Structure 1
Amino acid sequence: MQYSSLLSVVLFLPLIGAIYAGLFGAKAKALHVGVFNSLCVLVSFIGAVVLFIQAWHHQSYEKYLFDWIVVGNFKVGFSLMLDNINAVMIVVVTLVSFLVHVYSIGYMEHDAGFNRYFSYLSGFVFSMLVLVLSDNFLGLFIGWEGVGLCSYLLIGFWYHKTSANNASIEAFVMNRITDLGMLMGIILIFWNFGTLQYKEVFSMLNNTDYSMLFYISVFLFIGAMGKSAQFPMHTWLANAMEGPTPVSALIHAATMVTAGVYLVIRANPLYSAVFEVGYFIACLGAFVALFGASMALVNKDLKRIVAYSTLSQLGYMFVAAGLGAYAIALFHLFTHAFFKSLLFLGSGNVMHAMEDNLDITKMGALYKPMRITAVFMIIGSVALCGIYPFAGYFSKDKILEVAFGMHHHILWFALLIGAIFTAFYSFRLIMLVFFAPKQHEINHPHEAQNFMLLSMLPLGVLAVIAGFFEEPFFHFISQVIPSVGEYLVPLALLISITTIVVLLSIAYAIFKYKNGITSKKEGGFLYKLLLNQYYIPQLYQGIAKVFSAIASFLHQVVELKIIDAIVDAIGRSVFVIGRVFRISQDGNLTSMLRFMVAGVLILLAFVAFFGR
């Protein structure tokens, strides 16, 4: 088999699994569906590793599949490409997806929608692979919309729950709004360059008007804001926790929310040419890093805390990308995928043991009955905090170094505060769930099944060791995007400061919550502000109510009382006129002759007057 053909295998195997599962969607749970889908993604992962090795040896491939759109001289092909950037992405996507598939077999074993779930899940993986393997913006957009659709289906998987329906609609609508911006950017790209191929577009940037590059980069980033849940389009991310927990692991670690970061990294020649937009991305990312972490400080919902941590970490990635350190942004995406999926799968174990309770203040003393899950979640939390030698240390601290080394000290300070917050809420969660006094009534909390724990093991190992791939990773990626060496200066003291304040924050959380919740400040203004997400969802609901009221007014007054009244009046007028003429048409010959003579006279008068 040619390596270019292997691209098709990697891409289409998850689609085959999705179709296979869909054939059994309405039937009772069939274990073979979960096993077959897992095997499809496993083979896809093996193929991705082979392709990664080829990319490592300076091999790039393109695979033209078929014509997507042909209109006159305009032609867009459905074609795939492999380079160093998406070689990393497909390995991350397929590895995490395979482990989530295996975990899901146990997690969803008692769910009536088992087969349907795997159809959606594999479709999700296929859509993400379309997004990252496409060699043009239209193919990327098709995959972009695919992950949006699959996220809607998976977030609202338990459609009998009103909250799940609302969450899926919110995610779908918010992403459709921002996707319009991305579509505008793609239209401008074709209008100005006459092509949508990455290589051709990027090769012509130097000959393009700067203002047009500015608008294109802004519109594309609007799309990225929606997918990666950047402020103010962030509210859907926490509500997406209404879906099954393995879905959250996939959305937050390897697929949907990383798509926005991937877009900026993929379009790095464009964003490098438009400094103002890049700097705005970095500033927004720093704000979101602090903003997301602050909301996790007080939240009591296990999955939402981890979701807010994703929001915060996406902010870190955008800071790196906005400052031009695209390789560092991709490296943090790489390491983050492992410890974040580990945290979500661990949360799923805890949720099952607690009989679907997610309130961490009503847990406690779970370390003994769930030692393995506890160890995995501690590993994930330490990696998230960025403590040496765990993966987060190597990637997140690099972002702080970039911000400080490029003299963006305000951004660096915001990220440092975000790191302190991250350490605090991470170990607040660990203490309240596993080590604080028992606060629940469940007699025998149980550990997850062995094969579910086994599926978490590779993630736990990678959360520890992935950071040590730093040097070869940057060597590999710097072949296609700017080298990190251009941005960094020796900052050993800076790293020490970051590590010290993070360790102090962890120690404070451990000391504060070792006996459970003891604070009486939960009624304070700041606590309520953070717990209610700065009242932004309420603001959006208020805006929606205003527009709903306007629509109701237009319906009740303008449409019913004015427009309908006019239409009804016209109808009645025609009816009245018809009655008058009906009376005149009585069939009497004398009457008809009178009308005929009158008509002739009127016609003669008209000709005499206007015919001169």
Structure 2
Amino acid sequence: MEKYVYIALFAPLVGSLVAALFSMRGKIAFTGWFTSFMLAVSMFASLNLLSFIYSTDTVLNITLFQWIKAGNLNIPFGFIIDHVSVVMMTVVTVVSTMVHIHSIGYMENDEGFNRYFSYLSAFVFSMLVLVMSDNFAVLFIGWEGVGVCSWLLIGFWYKKESASWAANEAFIMNRVGDLGLLLGMFLIYWNLGSLQYSHVFENIASLETSTIAWIGILLFVGAMGKSAQFPLHTWLADAMEGPTPVSALIHAATMVTAGVYLVVRANELYVLVPEVGYAIACLGAFVAIFAASMALVHNDMKRIIAYSTLSQLGYMFVAAGLGAYWVALFHLVTHAFFKSVLFLGAGNVMHAMNDELDIRKMGGLHSKMKSTSIIMTIASVALAGIFPLAGFFSKDKILEAAFNGDAYFLWLILWITAGLTAFYSFRLVMKVFHGEQNYSNEDFHPHEAKSFVIAAMIPLAILAVIAGWFEHAFIDFVTKTLPTWEASNTASSTVWILILVTSAVAIAGIAYAVIKYRNGGFSKEWENKGIYKLLSNQYYIPHFYENFITKPYHQLSVWVFEVIEIKMIDNTIEGIARLINKAGGKARVIQSGNLSSSLRLMVLGLILGLVLALVLSLFGGVK
């Protein structure tokens, strides 16, 4: 099976390199189809590995080559294909393949067509390195690789100032988190002498609890940056400046879930410090309702879905923080399917509406875009957590984990968030596809996307429906690697009550959105309310960052440059240079070759030598 590992990993890289050969040329359809084919090959290999591990329970450990070997430091470039990593490989390649095919239609008129597919396939390769690695160092290579590719793709239309700014914001914000991850890795190596998962997790219990806690906190700081958790969250919404399929792949299904994957992968560490896990769960619950509240009032279609992603990541961290690691992974999988569909559907709407994003300028598109409307509605029902779609099974398990873990306040927050999620999901559906037409037929001519674009969305939509039905098979599979979690403390009747209560609030949220926006929505007076302004301005956190961090830091940088760099350092160096130059000019007479000058200097030297000898003899003779 080793060949399938290499095929799964390197097929996207081959596609990226081939597309890069044509990056400076005009659109060549071959690059889009070739990279999509290579992703399909990677998906086929991943599915074969999934089938093999499912049937044999064999864990594959493969060393590609010895990477770093110096003294006691030995880091191989190795991979582990176990029950967790193969699930991630399957999700990444399935979603990536469909996004690549969708992108052929979405980017068909873009002058950077070839470059786009090179970047996108390079991202998938980096993501596979991240999830397949068998040590923290190789994981960090993939971690930084997805960061670079994300920067390239967010700022893909680099001639737009907003796109360049958003790309830099995402890159810099992630560097803050990555510093935490690096420090955590250093602390692991300092105490255990290895970065191999197997060695680290076998020996982590031998360390002091405080050391384990610090390692867990620092690793989670890295996860906060990559998964856009508060306060490192602002980049995710701004990252919507990139092409929409990029948002579907990177900012919904893969890269932003890397932080969740890191916590799940390091579960043996976090089990030893439940206090750190509970803190992670608390932050996750806060982010869940925090992001959902902002999605309630936003009018930018892609940003609404981005805030939804942020909220669902909060759900995943609640499960992981409370020790229900397979539940977190389960929601990661189901969320990848229905959220990627929502972003791809948003891309269809943008194409149809000349890149318009304001949902207030849409309405009535169902009759013109029935396929997109139906698919996005299905995904929204899954996101809301309605039976029997995928979101119901995974989201309900997270609420059950909170209740079973006696985290009743967290359960309440997640329960309220479930109602908010259902409301904003169908607010988007109603404002875009139903109700009155809010655009001019002269300016806009909405139309359905091409058939192969819709075809690429259908498998993801089907998975958004049926993925939850395989819950028990998923549990049996991943708990061969992850700790088993069962709601043993919760009676069966209580579980059913929790399910009914959660489903009720979700259905109520959908019903309220449908009724409210069928009748025209909220009045304009609502937009003058303080709470509306607070939510629409993201709680003024970006303003706080700009006025109290970005601007003061810029002013400090200017002062350091002008005062420290120019006036002190540069002037000091230039002063030394001028002094040496003048001294050299004065000493030049020594090398003039003039006999008279040489004799005078010789006599002067002789006199100085005699005076020095006299002084030494006088003082040297005194005892």
Shorter-chain TM range is: over 0.9
Match of 1:54 in 2: 52
Does residue 452 in structure 1 map to residue 453 in structure 2? yes
SS in 2 for 1:521: helix
Alignment match, 1:557: 563
Aligned to 1:26: 24
Deviation at residue 571 of structure 1 after TM alignment: 5.1
Q: Which deviates further from its counterpart, 538-547 or 362-371?
A: 538-547
Bigger mean CA deviation after superposition, 352-361 or 480-489: 480-489
Deviates more, 1:302-311 or 1:441-450: 441-450
The answer for the alignment partner of 1:503 in structure 2 is 507
**Cα shift at 1:558:** 3.7
Tell me the residue number matched to 1:284: 283
The residue that corresponds to 1:603 in the other structure is: 612
Query: Aligned equivalents of 1:159 and 1:605: distance in 2?
Result: 77
The letter of the residue matching 2:168 is I
Structure 2 counterpart of 1:544, which letter? Answer: T
> Which residue does the alignment assign to 1:534?
539
For 1:91-102, list aligned pairs within 5 A: 91-102=90-101
Q: Structure 1 pair 126/568, CA: closer, same or farther in 2 (3 Å)?
A: closer
User: In 2, distance between residues paired with 1:578 and 1:199?
Assistant: 64
After superposition, where does 1:44-193 map in structure 2 within 5 Å?
A: 44-57=42-55, 58-193=57-192
| Distance in 2 of aligned mates of 1:32 and 1:308 | 35
* Cα pair 1:9 1:47 within 8 Å, conserved: yes
- Say if 2:252 and 2:306, in contact at 8 Å, map to a contact too: no
Hey, what's the Cα distance between the residues in 1 that align with 2:602 and 2:30? 89
- Provide, for residues 400-446 of structure 1, a one-character-per-residue CA deviation record: whole Å limited to 9, x for no partner: 11111211111111111211211111111111111121111244210
Aligned to 1:484, the other structure's residue is in SS state coil
Alignment-mate amino acid for residue 37 of structure 1: T
Task: Name the CA distance, whole Å, in 2 between partners of 1:500 and 1:404.
Answer: 17
Q: Which residue pairs with 2:258 in the alignment?
A: 259
* Compared CA separation, residues 592 and 35, structure 1 to 2 (3 A): closer
SS in 1 for 2:525: coil
CA deviation after TM superposition for structure 1 residue 73, in Å? 4.5
SS at match of 1:464: helix
Indicate how the Cα distance of structure 1 residues 562 and 150 shifts in structure 2: closer, same or farther if over 3 A, else same.
closer
Mapped to 2, the partners of 1:593 and 1:85 lie a distance apart of 85
State the match for 2:41 in structure 1: 43
Displacement of 1:138 in angstroms is 1.3
Q: Please name the residue that 1:310 is paired with.
A: 309
Unpaired runs of 5+ residues, structure 2, are none
1:258 deviates by 0.8
Deviating more after overlay: 599-608 vs 176-185: 599-608
In structure 1, the residue matched to 2:211 is 212
Partner of 1:466: 467
Moved more, 68-77 or 257-266: 68-77
Which amino acid is the alignment partner of residue 606 of structure 1? V
Q: Are the equivalent residues in 1 in contact too, given 2:245–2:344 (CA < 8 A)?
A: yes
CA pair 355-592 structure 1, distance change in 2 beyond 3 A: same
Deviating more after overlay: 592-601 vs 250-259 = 592-601
Q: Distance in 2 between matches of 1:184 and 1:303?
A: 34
For residues 96-121 of structure 1, the C-alpha deviation after alignment (integer angstroms, 9 at most, x for no partner) is: 00000110111111111111111111
C-alpha distance in 2 between matches for 1:534 and 1:63:
48
**8 A contact 1:89–1:132 mirrored in 2:** yes
Mapped contact 2:369–2:447 kept (Cα < 8 A)? yes
1:204-603 alignment, distance < 5 Å: 204-441=203-440, 442-486=443-487, 489=490, 490=492, 491-514=495-518, 515-516=520-521, 518-542=523-547, 543-570=549-576, 592=601, 595-596=604-605, 598-603=607-612
* Change in CA separation of 1:165 and 1:601 when aligned onto 2, cut-off 3 Å: same
Aligned residues: 610
Change (3 A) 1:594 1:89: closer
CA contact (8 A) 1:386 1:393 kept: yes
Question: For residues 591 and 81 of structure 1, do their structure 2 counterparts lie closer, same or farther at Cα, with a shift above 3 Å needed?
Answer: closer
- The more displaced of 196-205 and 321-330 is 196-205
* Alpha-carbon separation, structure 1, partners of 2:235 and 2:615: 71
**2: CA distance, partners of 1:170 / 1:341:** 23
Summarize the Cα distance change of 1:488–1:90 in structure 2 as closer, same or farther, 3 Å threshold.
farther
SS of 1:458's partner is: helix
Name the CA shift for 1:233/1:609 in 2 (closer, same or farther; >3 Å).
Answer: farther
1:26 CA drift (Å): 1.0
Q: CA deviation at 1:565?
A: 4.5
Query: Displacement of 1:551 after TM fit?
Result: 2.1
Secondary structure of 2:366 counterpart: coil
TM-score of the two chains, using structure 2 as the length reference: 0.94
Answer whether contact 1:361 1:516 (CA < 8 A) is retained: no
- Deviation for aligned residue 1:605: 4.1
CA distance in 1: counterparts of 2:566 and 2:32, whole angstroms: 54
CA contact (8 A) 2:72 2:193 kept: no
Which AA in structure 2 matches 1:208? L
The one-letter amino acid paired with 2:96 is S
Q: 1:17 Cα deviation (Å)?
A: 0.7
Q: For residues 484-504 of structure 1, what are the alpha-carbon distances to aligned partners after superposition, in whole Å with 9 as ceiling and x for unaligned?
A: 215562321122111112222
Q: Following the alignment from structure 2 to structure 1, what is the Cα–Cα distance between the partners of residues 18 and 348?
A: 28
Q: Determine helix, strand or coil for the equivalent of 1:233.
A: coil
Deviations 1:141-165 (A, max 9, x none): 1111111111111111111111111
The answer to whether the Cα contact below 8 Å between 1:325 and 1:487 also exists between their aligned partners in 2 is no
1:522 is paired with a residue of what secondary structure?
helix
Greater displacement, 273-282 / 504-513: 504-513
Give yes or no for contact 1:405–1:488 (8 Å, CA) kept in 2: yes
Return closer, same or farther for 1:573/1:519 CA change in 2, 3 Å cut-off.
Answer: same
| Counterparts of 1:347 and 1:587, CA distance in 2 | 90
CA distance in 2, matches of 1:574, 1:194: 50
Preserved contact between residue 4 and residue 62 of structure 1 (Cα < 8 Å) = no
- Report the aligned-residue RMSD: 2.0
Q: Structure 1: how far apart are the matches of 2:521 and 2:527? A: 14
TM-score, reference length from structure 1: 0.95
2:78 is paired with a residue whose SS is strand
Structure 1, 525-534 or 482-491: larger mean CA deviation? 482-491
**Which one-letter code corresponds to 1:494 in the other structure?**
L
Aligned partner of 1:85: which letter? V
- Which whole-Å CA distance do the structure 2 matches of 1:399 and 1:63 have between them? 34
Flag the 1:607–1:167 CA change in 2: closer, same or farther, 3 A: same
Q: 1:206 to 1:594 in 2, by over 3 A?
A: closer
CA distance in 2, matches of 1:14, 1:487: 43
